[in-house]
């Protein structure tokens, strides 16, 4: 390969490109700070109901995006196969997340109902 072929349109040589890729420095990779319980009863984002509503609408949006991607693939609208598959995977995993949250919620409710008074 000639040196010209190795040069990208933005003038990046392989050496330059290597430095352009972010270096993961150990100091920067501090672990995510542990989630602090919110002191107020209603956190800044609203109550739990609206948080759950946001989760559900996020999952709905992912599923709509997956539906659009598959429709785009089926109607030959220029959506590549892997984009459609990844969109479907994302929809599936986020749906699974929602189901897990629902299961936990139901579990704690049933735990409460079983409580002796």
Partner 1 sequence: MINVLNGINTTASALEAERIRMDVISQNIANAEVERAPGAKPYQRREVVFETILNQQPGMGGISEAGIQVARIAEDERAPRMVYKPGSPYADAQGMVALPDINIHEEMADLMTASRAFEANLAVVRNARTMAMQTLSIGKR
Q: Are 62 and 86 in contact (CB under 8 A)?
A: no
State in angstroms the smallest separation of the CB of 94 from partner 1.
5
Helix spans in the chain (H): 14-20, 48-74, 81-113
d(CA 43, CA 107) in angstroms, rounded, equals: 23
Tell me the two tokens of residue 32: 């995510």
Provide the mask over 6-35, with x wherever binding to partner 1 is found by CB under 8 A and - wherever it is not: xxxxx-x----x--xxx-x---x-------
Residues that bind partner 1 (CB under 8 A): 1, 4-10, 12, 17, 20-22, 24, 28, 55, 58-59, 61-62, 80, 82-83, 86, 89-90, 93-94, 96-97, 100, 104
């Amino acid at each position: 390969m000639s040196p010209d072929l190795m040069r990208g349109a933005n003038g990046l040589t392989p050496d330059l490109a290597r430095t352009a890729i972010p270096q993961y420095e150990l100091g920067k990779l501090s672990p995510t700070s542990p989630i602090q319980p919110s002191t107020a009863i209603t956190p800044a984002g609203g109550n739990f109901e609206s948080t759950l509503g946001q989760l559900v609408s996020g999952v709905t949006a992912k599923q709509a995006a997956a539906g659009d991607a598959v429709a785009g693939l089926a109607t030959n609208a220029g959506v590549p196969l892997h984009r459609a598959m990844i969109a479907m995977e994302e929809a599936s995993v986020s749906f699974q997340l929602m189901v897990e949250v629902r299961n936990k919620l139901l579990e704690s409710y049933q735990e409460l109902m079983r409580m002796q008074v």
